[in-house]
Amino acid sequence: MKKIFIILFVCLFSTTIVGCNNSPKITFNSNGGTKVSSITQEYNTQVTKPTDPTKKGYIFGGWYKDSDLTREYTFTTMPRKKITLYAKWLSSEGLSYTSLENNTCAVSSFGSYPYIYIPKDFNGCLVTKIDTYRVSFFLKSIDVDVDNPIFSSIDGVLFNKDQTKIIVYPIGKTEKTYSIPNSVKIVGDSAFLLAESLKSISIPNSVTTIEDEAFRLTSLTSLSIPASVTTIGDSAFIHINSLKSINVDVDNPVFSSDKGVLFNKNQATIIFYPEGKSETTYTIPDSVTTIGDSAFLGAKSLKSITIPKSVIKLGSMAFKGASSLTTVIFEKGSQLTTIGDSAFLEAKSLTTITIPNSVITIGDSVFSGATSLTTIKIPNSVTTIGELAFSGAINLETVTFEEGSHLISIGVGTFHKATSLKSVTIPDGVIEIGDWAFKEATSLTYITIPDSVTKIGYWAFKEATSLTNITIPDGLIEIDYGAFEGAKSLVNVTIPASVTTIERNPFVGTSSLESIKVDDDNPEYCSKDGILFSKNQAIIIKYPERKNESIYIIPDSVLTIGPNAFSGVKMLREIIIPKSVTIIDSSAFKDATSLTKITIPNSVTTIGDNAFFRATSLTTVTFEEGSHLTTIGEGAFYGASSLESIFITAPTPPSIINFGVTNKYVKIYVPSDYVNDYRKSWSQYFDSIFPIDN
């Protein structure tokens, strides 16, 4: 037993001596970079990572266990045995450049590399600008050549040369905290955009300016703004759904905070309510006169807001995306005059709101996408409702305009896709119904338009599919392009004497329309048998799609069959075209699905694009002998799936691009003396062209 103990003691003693004289060692192969001294210390002791080596024209990419650079090494404690580590270097490979003036250039793309090196120059062109900061979520580090005169970097973060402005914090960096260096005065536009790993950022007292969208889409939970900051750009803190508070140093001369909410110094303007605040109700202080742009943007927990009577202006996008907001309370005696663009855009839980009678302007898209809004009353103080104001408010059933309204116009797309809206009485004094104002208001059955309205805009009632009747006021001057297109329940229309302009396709797709009447005193238009013509009947404008006739003879006065004149007509099997007609305009017989044959008189010189598009019963088209036809428009017969034969007598092949014959068995008959001419000119139909005498 004693012998065993002595042997064990000697073995342990020997091991200790060996360990002391042969401590583990880490050596570094810099692969052409600056030398890094080896580390020798006892096994399992904490190892401090050495300063990164440098190599001109390259960025250091880490230490690896193998010379093939496949196994990255992490510094923790000293290994048991001696090891050699190998440096990985990355070039500016993957960058794209754009030439600028004075032999300078800009980095226009970073590619998808995780480590980026910005050189001093590229092919002798000095790099002075960076156009694209981020192209990939994998970007972890940006390094800059020390000789670059414009940019620099610290720990993979991009700065200007003197490091007074932080330009880009790479998206792919994994650190959870970051301290902005004390040299920095400006946090640049979108400097931390999408840095989702960041939960905390320390802003030093040197910073004076935070530019637009500086911290957008980070994961910050709170932010402290020092006394030095005097400028904060637009949307600097938007889309940070984890942000619960913003706290401002009490000595700051421009900004202040209250309960984690950002204000200007005297709290006359509320600037930003953090999206991550958990409160469900909030009362804006009585000192506030302006609710700033995007002030409550994305405040998803907020259900109720009380706005004091002191508030005069509600800024753009103020409550955009406040998806839980159900109640907006304006204090009695409100002085509010302006509701800014998109103020309640996508406030999807808002069911009702009482607009104060002090409001003059309702901006663009104010309630667009407010899908729970069911009723709205517009006070008589309002003079302007902006574009798309209630667009996509799909449950809006009732809109009431207060008596004595001062409203001037219904803006572009105001009630676009307000699919539950059943009836509207437009107040007297409104001059214009804007483009696509009631487009796709599919439940709208009745609308009252006052005599003050002079224009119905482009697509104003397009696809208002439940609208059965409309009284066009006596003061109306213009019906714009496609005003009632697709209003498929509309039965009758009467056009007053005042209308002097009807743009193309006003009644296309009105599949229930039986009659169009025009006042006899109208100087520009007339009707005959319920069909719309120009005053002298030289142009046939629209044949009602539901008119119950199987044969129609176009009057001899007609020179032009207008665009979409017979489109969608389902009853007509035959149309007789007089020799007076010279032009068949685009889509003239589009979707005339019962038309079986047609003879084109020799007077016709032009057939427009898609003239017989989807005339699915059409079997024969005959061009009279002596035809003067010069042009057949693109797709003229596209979708005429029953077409079997076309007879053309013009000696010179008319100009075509592709008139769209889709039936491969169709035969095109031409004068026998000109077959070769036609086959040459119409080579795509070579095998379908035959002489007439066959």
C-beta of residue 98 within 8 angstroms of C-beta of residue 44:
no
Instruction: Scan for tokens 């044959």, then name that residue.
Output: 597
DSSP 238-305: TT-TT--EEEE-TT-SSEEEETTEEEETTSSEEEE--TT---SEEE--TT--EE-TTTTTT-TT--EE
CATH of 560-691, one of 3.40.50, 2.60.40, 3.80.10, 3.30.2010: 3.80.10
Strands 245-248 and 222-225: parallel
C-beta of residue 254 within 8 angstroms of C-beta of residue 270:
no
d(CA 667, CA 282): 76
pLDDT tens digits, one per residue of 663-674? 678 899 999 989
C-beta of residue 330 within 8 angstroms of C-beta of residue 336:
yes
Q: Which residue has the higher pLDDT, 139 or 16?
A: 139
Least confident among 219-223, 509-513, 547-551, 676-680: 676-680
d(CA 166, CA 160): 7
pLDDT tens digits, one per residue of 513-560? 999 999 999 999 999 999 999 999 999 999 999 999 999 999 999 999
pLDDT at 134: 52
pLDDT at 22: 64
Can you tell me the mean pLDDT for 367-387? 96
d(CA 418, CA 413): 10
pLDDT at 160: 95
Domain edges within the chain: 21-90, 96-159, 560-691
What separation in angstroms does the CA of 333 have from each of 288, 291, 361?
A: 15, 17, 17
- Per the prediction, the chain carries an average pLDDT of 91
pLDDT at 2 over 50: no
pLDDT at 288 over 90: yes
Residue 468 CA to its chain's centroid (Å): 34
Q: How confident is the model at residue 99 (pLDDT cuts 50, 70, 90)?
A: confident
pLDDT tens digits, one per residue of 119-152? 888 888 899 988 755 556 778 888 888 899 999 9
Which CATH architecture fits 21-90?
A: Sandwich (2.60)
Q: How confident is the model at residue 18 (pLDDT cuts 50, 70, 90)?
A: very low
pLDDT at 14 over 50: no
pLDDT at 155 over 70: yes
d(CA 314, CA 230): 23
| Burial (Cβ within 10 Å: 0-12, 13-18, ≥19) of residue 240 | buried
pLDDT at 113: 73
pLDDT tens digits, one per residue of 171-196? 888 899 999 999 999 999 999 999 99
DSSP 95-144: -EEEE-STTEEEEEE-TT-SEEEE-SEETTEEEEEES---S-TT--EEEE
| Burial (Cβ within 10 Å: 0-12, 13-18, ≥19) of residue 485 | buried
Can you tell me the mean pLDDT for 641-660? 87
Q: How confident is the model at residue 19 (pLDDT cuts 50, 70, 90)?
A: very low
- Is the pTM here over 0.75, yes or no? yes
pLDDT at 655: 86
pLDDT at 413: 96
pLDDT at 318 over 90: yes
What separation in angstroms does the CA of 568 have from each of 59, 641, 649?
A: 68, 16, 29
Q: What's the N-to-C CA distance of the chain in angstroms?
A: 125
Backbone angles phi and psi of 679, in degrees to 5: -65, -30
- The secondary structure of 664-693, three-state, reads CCCEEEECHHHHHHHHHHCHHHHHHEEECC
pLDDT at 396 over 60: yes
pLDDT tens digits, one per residue of 411-423? 999 999 999 999 9
In the β-sheet with 104-109, what is the strand arrangement from edge to edge?
A: 96-99, 104-109, 125-130, 121-122
pLDDT tens digits, one per residue of 62-71? 898 988 777 8
Residue 678 CA to its chain's centroid (Å): 48
Report the sign of the C-alpha dihedral through residues 93, 99, 103, 104, in that order: negative
d(CA 628, CA 650): 6
C-beta of residue 473 within 8 angstroms of C-beta of residue 453:
yes
d(CA 31, CA 55): 9
